[in-house]
């Protein structure tokens, strides 16, 4: 039986070599071929040493070897790199599939958003006092003022990009919050969907009541198909997350949550991409001086495209497997 | 007798990983203090990037005119957005679970079963910051971490990840007996020690821990076994700790010629 000092004396050179290889690069695939196979061999030898030392040696040596094994493991099995094909198949196949699979959550989040939205419009149009109780009047008037000018002359390039930047932040923030707060058993998603639906509806109604309905309509119709859908999808992902925490089907809550994680990731990443598209449209197309009929037809085209995408993208051709 | 105790998981902030090759090793899990420092570092870096771009935008606005200043303020907002939602994921994917702040503090994000981080999981755990941050300053996240044996915040739980410490450590030093055993001391011991392997191992573990013990504690521990060994060998036990050191010296000297 060898003592600890003898083990260290015999193996230390290998450990140091592995340590050097591991600290030379963040991931081993940045190294040359011989170094990689050498590192793999050293790692395997180290795992043997670890078993031996755990039985015989002092905690500090075991801790050293544990640490080295951990670092070598991280280096050998680097993080999954970003791959365009994988991302592409997510967008063309997995995202629409995931949404179809979770259609009921999408329907629920749509209801939670659109019903308050309709209530908001009605309130702002017919009961303005109630509307100004809910949202501050100064804000509502400010919005009406903003849309009063219309977009016939368009805005300058610079304003466009400033607005695009603003919308990216605002809407992505809304969508991601709708999603993330779903962790609180879905309640956060419910709250944010209702809240945002109500305020968007109310603003639209108020601006319309002030007589600028045409302006806000032609403005919102361009990016709406992407942006509102993306917010609804993010909300659906949040609801899915909350649902998996409540209905666990015999798993632990965490296990049930992990089970649903792949779908949730697909939905949220897809929603994020849609929000980016929406932001581009919102910053540069929606405020442009194009005549209203053109904008409405483009909006109709966008809606058809988005709907067709979610209905048909990623379906198996025929029944063939 | 000691077997069942050994199989129990120690009450400690370590996570045991079993790799596909059936290698088992332990990661120390990172606690809130370290992670807060790493977070502050990342926050400072993000702030610095934004500041640099802000200064450029401002100068551009003054030098060329309003159109540029609006263009660049739009750009600035986009950069702010990227830093807010993608900063962590981009670094964690590029650096195998590390951001600059985590790297500075030797932290790494791995999945709970030890696999490396996947992009989707990284995105998920960082999106969930919006929930962990509530109502302010990561309160929810800290409470979740305090409740969890692996210090996971909500984002980690959803993404199936944990944050581990990868501090570099030094190899254990060789054991030296101070002062070195004299031949006279050794001659009082029998040539063949009537000690089992387990007992020799226990002696070695004790000698390695000696540096970290106070003299009284050292004596107390040594006195628990030294008299037993001494009576077994029929020798006198003057100084328990010294006797154990001598036994270890004799055992390793007998092994060396092999």
B45 and B156: one domain? yes
Portion 153-172 of B in contact with A at CB < 8 A: 154, 157-160, 164, 166-172
- Whether residue A319 lies inside any domain: the answer is no
Does B76 lie at the interface with A, CB-CB under 8 angstroms? yes
pLDDT computed for residue A156 by the predictor: 52
- Whether residue A318 lies inside any domain: the answer is no
**The pair of three-digit structure tokens given for residue A44, joined into one six-digit string:** 């395997």
The total number of structural domains that make up chain A: 2
A167 and A304: one domain? yes
Q: Strands B107-111, B161-165: parallel, antiparallel or unpaired by DSSP?
A: antiparallel
- Whether residue B172 lies inside any domain: the answer is no
- Whether residue B177 lies inside any domain: the answer is no
- Whether residue B225 lies inside any domain: the answer is yes
pLDDT of B32 strictly over 50: yes
B148 and B208: one domain? no
A115 and A256: one domain? yes
Confidence of residue B41 (pLDDT cuts 50, 70, 90): very high
Residues of chain A with C-beta less than 8 angstroms from the C-beta of B174: 5, 8-9
Sign of the CA dihedral with B225 first, then B226, B229, and B231 last? negative
The total number of structural domains that make up chain B: 2
Of A48, A76, A104, which marks where a domain is finished? A76
Does B127 lie at the interface with A, CB-CB under 8 angstroms? yes
Among B21, B27, B124, the residue with its CB nearest the CB of A261 is: B124
B130 and B72: one domain? yes
A64 and A95: one domain? no
Domain that holds residue A30: 4-76
- Whether residue A317 lies inside any domain: the answer is no
Of A24, A51, A76, which marks where a domain is finished? A76
pLDDT computed for residue A285 by the predictor: 78
A141 and A166: one domain? yes
Among B84, B114, B128, the residue with its CB nearest the CB of A183 is: B128
- Determine whether the interchain pair A79/B118 forms a contact, defined as Cβ–Cβ distance below 8 Å: yes
Among B21, B84, B197, the residue with its CB nearest the CB of A1 is: B197
Residues of chain B with C-beta less than 8 angstroms from the C-beta of A57: 172
B33 and B157: one domain? yes
pLDDT computed for residue A320 by the predictor: 43
pLDDT computed for residue A1 by the predictor: 58
pLDDT computed for residue B162 by the predictor: 92
- Determine whether the interchain pair A58/B160 forms a contact, defined as Cβ–Cβ distance below 8 Å: no
**Closest chain B CA to residue A71:** B166
- Determine whether the interchain pair B128/A159 forms a contact, defined as Cβ–Cβ distance below 8 Å: no
- Determine whether the interchain pair B124/A79 forms a contact, defined as Cβ–Cβ distance below 8 Å: no
B51 and B147: one domain? yes
pLDDT computed for residue B1 by the predictor: 38
- Determine whether the interchain pair B73/A162 forms a contact, defined as Cβ–Cβ distance below 8 Å: yes
Does A81 lie at the interface with B, CB-CB under 8 angstroms? yes
- 3-state class of B105 per DSSP? coil
B89 and B132: one domain? yes
Residues of chain A with C-beta less than 8 angstroms from the C-beta of B69: 158
- Determine whether the interchain pair A180/B130 forms a contact, defined as Cβ–Cβ distance below 8 Å: yes
**Residues 6 or more apart from A263 whose CB is under 8 A from it?**
A98, A101, A102, A237, A240
- Determine whether the interchain pair A74/B108 forms a contact, defined as Cβ–Cβ distance below 8 Å: yes
Of B133, B165, B197, which marks where a domain is finished? B165
- Whether residue B103 lies inside any domain: the answer is yes
pLDDT in tens, B121-159: 999 999 999 889 888 888 999 999 988 888 999 999 999
- Whether residue B201 lies inside any domain: the answer is yes
B158 and B188: one domain? no
B150 and B208: one domain? no
What is the ipTM score, two decimals? 0.83
- Whether residue B11 lies inside any domain: the answer is no
A105 and A30: one domain? no
A123 and A236: one domain? yes
- Determine whether the interchain pair A26/B96 forms a contact, defined as Cβ–Cβ distance below 8 Å: yes
Does B18 lie at the interface with A, CB-CB under 8 angstroms? no
Average pLDDT over residues B165-191: 77
Portion 94-133 of A in contact with B at CB < 8 A: none
**Closest chain B CA to residue A43:** B23
CA gap B12, B110 in Å, rounded: 19
Portion 3-32 of A in contact with B at CB < 8 A: 3-6, 8-9, 12, 15, 19, 23, 26-27
pLDDT computed for residue B69 by the predictor: 65
Q: Are A110 and A190 in contact (CB under 8 A)?
A: no
A267–chain B nearest CA distance, Å: 11
Domain that holds residue B240: 183-255
Of B136, B165, B194, which marks where a domain is finished? B165
- Determine whether the interchain pair A67/B158 forms a contact, defined as Cβ–Cβ distance below 8 Å: no
- Whether residue A31 lies inside any domain: the answer is yes
Average pLDDT over residues B226-243: 83
- Whether residue B178 lies inside any domain: the answer is no
**Residues 6 or more apart from A294 whose CB is under 8 A from it?**
none
pLDDT of B257 strictly over 50: no
A68 and A90: one domain? no
- Whether residue B80 lies inside any domain: the answer is yes
A118 and A219: one domain? yes
B75 and B200: one domain? no
- Whether residue A321 lies inside any domain: the answer is no
**Residues 6 or more apart from A246 whose CB is under 8 A from it?**
A185, A186
SS (HEC) of chain A: CCCHHHHHHHHHHHHHHHHHHHHHCCCHHHCCHHHHHHHHHHHHHHHHHHHHHHHHCCHHHHHHHHHHHHHHHHHHCCCCCCCHHHHHHHHHHHHHHHHHHCHHHHHHHHHHHHHHHHHHHHHHHHCHHHHHHHCCHHHHHHHHHHHHCCCCCCCCHHHHHHHHHHHHHHHHHHHHHHHHHHHCCCHHHHHHHHHHHHHHHHHHHHHHHHHHHHHHHHHHHHHHHHHHHHHHHHHHHHHHHHHHHHCCCCCCHHHHHHHHHHHHHHHHHHHHHHHHHHHHHHHHCCCCCCCHHHHHHHHHHHHHHHHHHHHHCCCCCCCCC
A127 and A271: one domain? yes
Tens place of pLDDT per residue across chain A (321 aa): 577 778 888 888 888 888 888 877 666 667 778 888 888 888 888 888 888 888 877 777 888 888 888 888 888 877 677 788 888 888 888 999 999 999 999 999 999 999 999 999 998 888 888 777 777 877 777 777 777 765 555 555 556 666 666 766 778 888 898 999 999 999 999 999 999 999 888 888 888 888 777 777 787 888 888 889 999 999 999 999 999 999 988 898 888 998 899 999 999 999 989 988 887 787 777 777 778 888 888 889 989 999 999 888 888 765 444
A288 and A210: one domain? yes
**Closest chain A CA to residue B79:** A165
Number of A–B residue contacts, CB under 8 Å: 197
A155 and A90: one domain? yes
Does A168 lie at the interface with B, CB-CB under 8 angstroms? yes
pLDDT computed for residue B258 by the predictor: 41
pLDDT in tens, B52-101: 988 887 777 777 766 666 667 777 777 888 888 889 999 998 888 889 99
B84 and B153: one domain? yes
Of A52, A76, A100, which marks where a domain is finished? A76
A114 and A175: one domain? yes
B122 and B225: one domain? no
């Amino acid at each position: 039986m060898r003592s600890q000092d003898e083990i260290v004396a015999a193996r230390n050179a290998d450990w140091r070599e592995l340590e050097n290889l591991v600290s030379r690069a963040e991931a081993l695939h940045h190294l040359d071929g011989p170094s990689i196979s050498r590192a793999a061999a050293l790692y395997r030898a180290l795992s043997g040493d670890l078993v031996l030392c755990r039985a015989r040696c002092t905690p500090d040596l075991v801790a050293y070897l544990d640490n080295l094994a951990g670092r070598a493991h991280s280096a050998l099995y680097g993080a999954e790199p970003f791959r365009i094909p994988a991302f592409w198949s997510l967008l063309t196949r997995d995202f629409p599939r995931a949404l179809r699979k979770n259609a009921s959550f999408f329907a629920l989040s749509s209801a939670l958003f659109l019903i308050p939205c309709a209530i908001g419009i009605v309130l702002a149009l017919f009961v303005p006092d109630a509307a100004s109780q809910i949202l501050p009047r100064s804000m509502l008037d400010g919005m009406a003022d903003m849309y009063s000018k219309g977009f016939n002359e368009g805005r300058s390039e610079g304003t466009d990009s400033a607005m695009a930047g603003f919308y990216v932040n605002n809407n992505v923030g809304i969508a991601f919050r709708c999603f993330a707060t779903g962790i609180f058993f879905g309640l956060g998603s419910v709250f944010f969907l209702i809240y945002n639906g109500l305020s968007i509806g109310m603003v639209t109604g108020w601006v319309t009541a002030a007589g600028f309905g045409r302006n806000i309509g032609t403005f919102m119709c361009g990016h709406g198909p992407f942006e509102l859908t993306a917010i609804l999808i993010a909300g659906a992902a949040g609801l899915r997350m909350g649902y998996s925490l409540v209905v666990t089907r015999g798993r632990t809550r965490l296990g049930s949550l992990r089970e649903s994680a792949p779908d949730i990731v697909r939905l949220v990443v897809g929603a994020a991409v849609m929000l980016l598209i929406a932001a581009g449209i919102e910053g540069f197309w929606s405020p442009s001086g194009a005549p209203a009929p053109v904008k409405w037809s483009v909006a109709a085209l966008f809606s058809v495209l988005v709907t067709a995408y979610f209905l048909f993208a990623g379906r198996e051709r025929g029944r063939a497997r | 007798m000691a077997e069942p105790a050994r199989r129990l998981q120690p009450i400690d902030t370590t996570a045991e990983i079993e790799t596909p090759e059936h290698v088992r090793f332990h990661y120390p899990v990172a606690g809130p203090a370290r992670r807060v420092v790493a977070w502050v570092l990342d926050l400072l870096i993000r702030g610095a990037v934004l500041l640099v771009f802000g200064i450029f935008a401002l100068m551009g606005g003054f030098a060329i005119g309003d159109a540029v200043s609006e263009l660049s303020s739009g750009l600035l907002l986009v950069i702010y957005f990227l830093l807010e939602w993608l900063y962590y994921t981009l670094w964690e994917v590029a650096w195998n679970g590390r951001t600059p702040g985590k790297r500075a503090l030797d932290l790494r994000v791995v999945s709970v079963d030890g696999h490396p981080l996947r992009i989707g999981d990284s995105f998920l755990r960082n999106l969930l910051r919006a929930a962990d941050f509530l109502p302010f300053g990561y309160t929810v996240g800290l409470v979740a971490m305090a409740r969890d044996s692996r210090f996971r915040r909500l984002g980690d739980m959803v993404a199936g990840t944990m944050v581990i410490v990868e501090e570099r450590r030094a190899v254990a030093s060789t054991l030296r007996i101070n002062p070195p055993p004299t031949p006279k001391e050794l001659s009082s011991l029998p040539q063949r020690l009537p000690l089992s392997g387990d007992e020799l191992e226990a002696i070695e573990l004790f000698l390695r821990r000696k540096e970290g013990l106070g003299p009284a504690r050292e004596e107390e521990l040594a006195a628990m076994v030294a008299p037993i060994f001494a009576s077994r060998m029929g020798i006198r036990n003057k100084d328990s700790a010294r006797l154990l050191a001598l036994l270890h010296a004799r055992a390793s000297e007998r092994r060396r010629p092999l």
